[in-house]
Amino acid sequence: MLAILVSKPLYAETLKVPLPAGREEHYALQTGLLELALTYAPGKHRLEIVAVDGLSQKRAFSLLSEGEVNVVLAGYSRAAEHDLLQIDFPLTKGLQGYRLLITRADNLKMLDRIENQADLRSICIGSGNSWVDTVILKHAGLCVTGGPGLSLYDMLENKRFDAMHLAIHEVKTGNVAKLIKQHDLAVYENLLLRYPYDFYFYLGKDSQSLHDEIEQGFQAAVKDGAIDRYFIEHPMISAAIGFLRDHPGLHIIDLDNPEMTSQTSSDLYRYWFGN
Distance (Å, whole) CA 209 – CA 189: 44
Q: How much is the pLDDT for 6?
A: 47
% the chain with pLDDT above 70: 94
Under the banding of pLDDT at 50, 70 and 90, the label for residue 8 is very low
- Amino acid identity for residue 180 in this structure: I
% the chain with pLDDT above 90: 76
DSSP code for 28: H
Residue range 170-193, pLDDT digits in tens: 997 888 889 999 999 999 999 999
On whether the CB atoms of residues 60 and 238 are closer than 8 A, the answer is no
Under the banding of pLDDT at 50, 70 and 90, the label for residue 9 is very low
Residue range 109-122, pLDDT digits in tens: 999 999 999 999 99
Q: What is the pLDDT averaged over residues 241-260?
A: 92
> What is the torsion angle, in degrees rounded to the nearest 10, for the CA atoms of residue 209, residue 214, residue 219 and residue 225?
160
Q: How much is the pLDDT for 1?
A: 53
On whether the CB atoms of residues 85 and 202 are closer than 8 A, the answer is yes
Q: How much is the pLDDT for 3?
A: 53
Q: How much is the pLDDT for 19?
A: 96
Q: How much is the pLDDT for 96?
A: 94
- pTM for the model stands at 0.88
CA-wise closest residue to 119 among 134, 101, 105: 101
Residue range 26-43, pLDDT digits in tens: 899 999 999 999 999 998
Q: How much is the pLDDT for 260?
A: 85
- Amino acid identity for residue 32 in this structure: G
Is pLDDT at 135 greater than 50 in this prediction?
A: yes
Distance (Å, whole) CA 266 – CA 59: 29
Q: How much is the pLDDT for 7?
A: 43
Distance (Å, whole) CA 14 – CA 4: 12
Residue range 72-97, pLDDT digits in tens: 999 999 999 999 999 999 999 999 99
Task: Report the mean per-residue pLDDT for the chain.
Answer: 91
